[in-house]
Amino acid sequence: MIILYSPRATKPRNRRFPLSILALAAVLEGREDYSIVDGNLDGNPTETLLALMREKSVELLAVTVMPGPQMACAVETCRRIRAAFPHIPIVWGGYFPTIYTAAVLNANYVDFAVRGQGEETLLELVEALRKKRSFESVRGLSFKDGSGRHYHNPERPMKGPDAFSWYPYHRLPVEDYLRPSFFGRRTAVHQASIGCPYQCSFCGVVTAYGAQQKMESPARTESILRHLARNFGADSIQFYDNNFFLREDHARELMDRIAPLGLRWWCEARIDLMLRFSDATFEAIRRAGCTMIFFGAESGSDWVLKEMNKHLKAEQTLELARRIRQFDIIPEFSFVVGNPKAPERDTRECLQFIRTIKQLNPASEIILYHYTPVPQREQMYGEVEGQFEFPKTLEEWMTRPWQDFSTRKDPLTPWLKPSTKRRIDNFRLVLSSRWPTVQDPRLPRWGRRTLQTISAWRYRVGFYNFPYELQLMQWLVHLRKPEAESL
């Protein structure tokens, strides 16, 4: 048996389909004996795994790992499994092992790391474990020999979603994964493409998928959504594609297909690409149920956007904020503040820019992250080389400072002064009180009103220091932070 394991990544109430595991399950379905263990569902996944290993003949434990708390849970479980069943091979795949491969292989409780797209790599790894092929022949696989030397096989060419079967949803208790959200009472998630063709210098997707994107056919996306709506009662969707809209003709066809399903949905898109869409396409997008779109605006300064290789101008963000209002779609703009070149100037300009956006389109939701570097495919982001080093072991990745780095709470970057970081955090607190996110369905009306009232003067005069009363009030009303939506 092969076990697919998704370590805990969220609070149970935020649980959603473990898409990476479902993608792997799709290629095992009907071909291999396998079992799924989801730490977001199972209160004690390690015990479940140990019990499975006692009862069944387990050939491989396959673990999906994202940076942050999920990685820490993966370590704890894998250590225990290795101690109890040292002969069972363990493979990690997903964003963390793809980006930090060496640290993963340095752990004595992980044998293999799969980089990038994983379906075929997993199948071939199983063949290699059965001695039907060599480990060296498995593209996308990294492994080590008895002396601890690491080997990294060549990249695996990426395939589009249509190359693989549908996810075997029936292998999960689907009911437990449909959660209430701003978009509906039973929100499901889906990813209708893989990768992203851009090369923003701070983004892990580039490192993982190498600046390419492959889309699912509109007909298949429609069928999957219809299946989720008809058979499981999903009434809303979050699309997890890095770029849901890549081409206008594809977008139009998909919108016409999914409009009759009556779903409300959220997706991520690029500002520059959407600005090229006609008004008719925007209307079709709204008619198809689009309620909110997440845009990586990243910065309010052209020099920073250039530094980030974003291929975007700040003016385009303002134009989009203005234009999208008429289509009744809420834009959610995300910023990464504190660029290494000139973090103070970047912060000053960015905070001012966000105020301008709010003037143009007060409904805009704002997400504010600290700038955190990500290693690029071959080398680290050039400018920070020498100033910044990533951990070489999983134990170090598990320490509080590196966990805070992973979740972008604390960037640990030597170029960001504590006073600048404080300014960003204080601004975020004032802004999120002045305009509490609409995505927190649990926030009572009185809580929203109070936050808005007590923060109004600070926002008006631009005084963000010492916002203790807002901190207390946000804590009292349990205001959800969109930045930590996930956790």
The candidate with the shortest Cα–Cα distance to 125, out of 142, 110, 138, 109, is 138
Given its phi and psi angles, is residue 374 left (phi above 0), alpha (psi -120 to 50 degrees) or beta? beta
Selected from 7, 68, 97, 296, the binder of ligand SF4 by CB under 6 A is 296
Cβ within 8 Å of residue 73, ≥6 positions away: 7, 8, 9, 39
Local structure of 363: helix, strand or coil:
coil
Q: CA–CA separation, 140 vs 121, rounded Å?
A: 6
> Which strands sit side by side in the sheet containing 150-152, from one edge to the other?
34-38, 2-6, 60-64, 90-93, 112-114, 141-144, 150-152
Q: Segment contacting ligand B12 (CB under 6 A): 56-64, 282-290, 348-356, 451-459?
A: 56-64
Half-sphere exposure of 7 (CA within 13 A, CB side): 23
d(CA 336, CA 338): 7
Q: Of the two residues 224 and 318, which places its CB atom closer to ligand B12 in the complex?
A: 224
For position 477 contacting ligand SF4 by CB under 6 A, the verdict is no
Say which residue the tokens 């980006």 belong to.
99
Residue 52 binds ligand B12 (CB under 6 A): no
Q: Which of 107, 113, 126, 203 binds ligand SF4 (CB under 6 A)?
A: 203
CB of 156 to ligand B12, least distance (A): 10
Question: Per CB under 6 A, does 121 bind ligand SF4?
Answer: no
Nearer to ligand B12 by C-beta: 201 or 452?
201
How many residues of this chain bind ligand SF4 (CB under 6 A)? 10
Q: Partners of 16 in the beta sheet?
A: none
Given the complex with ligand SF4, which of 336 and 429 has the nearer CB atom?
A: 336
For residue 143, state whether it binds ligand SF4 (rule: CB under 6 A): no
| Alpha-carbon span 241 to 266, nearest angstrom | 10
Residues 193-232 that bind ligand B12 (CB under 6 A): 203-205
Q: Which of 78, 105, 122, 196 binds ligand SF4 (CB under 6 A)?
A: 196
**Cβ 244 to ligand SF4 shortest distance, Å:** 11
Q: Considering CB distances under 5 to 8 angstroms, the limit depending on partner class, which of ligand B12, ligand SF4, none binds residue 126?
A: none
Residues forming the site for ligand B12 (CB under 6 A) = 6, 9-10, 16, 18-20, 23-24, 40, 62-64, 66-70, 91, 93-95, 99, 114, 117-119, 121-122, 191, 203-205, 240, 242, 374, 406-408, 484, 486-487
